[in-house]
Amino acid sequence: ILFGGFAHPIPLRILCLTLVPLHSVWLWQEFSNPGAQLSLVMSLSLLVPAGFKETAFLYAISSAGLTHAMAKACSAGRMERCTCDEAPDLENREAWQWGGCGDNLKYSNKFVKEFLGRKPNKDLRARVDFHNNLVGMKVIKAGVETTCKCHGVSGSCTVRTCWRQLSPFHEIGKQLKQKYETSLKVGSTTNEATGEGDISPPKKSIPGHSDQIPRTTDLVYIDDSPSFCLMSRYSPGTSGRKCYKDKNCDSICCGRGHNTQSRVVTRPCQCQVRWCCYVECKQCTQREEVYTCKD
């Protein structure tokens, strides 16, 4: 869905690599707009055509996920057309040598940019999506670190082997979540000299919205988000949704409060591996409290 507008079809193998990290971020990250995280998982087909800040997040984290997965797949030998990252031309390398198998960000960036195609000129929504895709890629690039391993007698580190490594994807997700929180609403302007369109603050000043000119690292959107607290075409709402009393009930339940239900559950416990080859468990009964959002 998210990559439907790209210049080339995505190989299923790479798409699967991308969806794994996205799954973890969407399910476990909490958003300031109550209920938005649930909608991200359950209403993708409706959110993607919209122009909300949640849509901006989806595009950014999808392009970031594809870039990250491609770079990792290259270094792991899962791709036919790429391998490890090449040794960069760096100064002051007398005390260490370039080696290991670095994540191939150069190839993955080129690959994803081919999907994006050229920057669209006229359609505002297409320019916004293109912009947010690039934001995701830039967060990946900014998270590249040089990792080194020491060699020598008794760990003396007389020689070091170094390689470049991407940040874990959950860290990328946190950074994009922060950008989601500070995303900017935008409009469109046209360069009279070239006739090309560009992203700019809305023409009319809107209460509660910044007139700040968006940077290339800001997530941007064009439509205000609906309330995800109530059932709508974009969200199933949060009524009856399970929450955690001390963690997120106030946010997820949108201030409506929550119900507490005590129940007895039976779960496997005291499990042991038996020769050969099965796991034997006892059944333990315990009472637990379940919290769900009020209507």
CATH of the domain at 281: 3.30.2460.20
Domain assignment of residue 227, yes or no:
no
Domain assignment of residue 234, yes or no:
no
pTM: 0.73
Per-position pLDDT tens, the chain of length 295: 455 444 444 455 555 555 555 555 544 444 444 455 545 555 666 777 888 998 898 889 888 988 888 888 888 777 777 777 665 555 444 444 555 567 788 888 888 888 777 777 778 888 999 999 999 999 999 988 888 888 777 667 777 778 888 898 888 888 998 999 899 999 877 666 666 667 877 765 555 555 678 899 999 999 998 888 888 887 788 888 888 888 888 888 888 999 999 999 899 999 988 877 788 999 999 999 999 999 8
Contacts of 192 (CB under 8 A, 6+ apart): none
Phi/psi of residue 144, nearest 5 degrees: -75, 130
Q: Are residues 156 and 254 in the same domain?
A: no
Q: Are residues 66 and 171 in the same domain?
A: yes
Q: Are residues 116 and 258 in the same domain?
A: no
CA distance linking residue 106 with residue 17, whole number of Å: 18
* pLDDT computed for residue 203 by the predictor: 61
Up-side HSE of residue 168: CA atoms within 13 Å toward CB?
5
CA distance linking residue 133 with residue 126, whole number of Å: 11
Q: Are residues 112 and 27 in the same domain?
A: yes
Domain containing 289 equals 242-293
Please name the residue that has the structure tokens 């950014």.
Answer: 60
Give strand pairing partners of 184: 220
Q: Are residues 145 and 268 in the same domain?
A: no
Q: Are residues 251 and 106 in the same domain?
A: no
Is there a contact between 171 and 192 (Cβ–Cβ < 8 Å)?
A: no
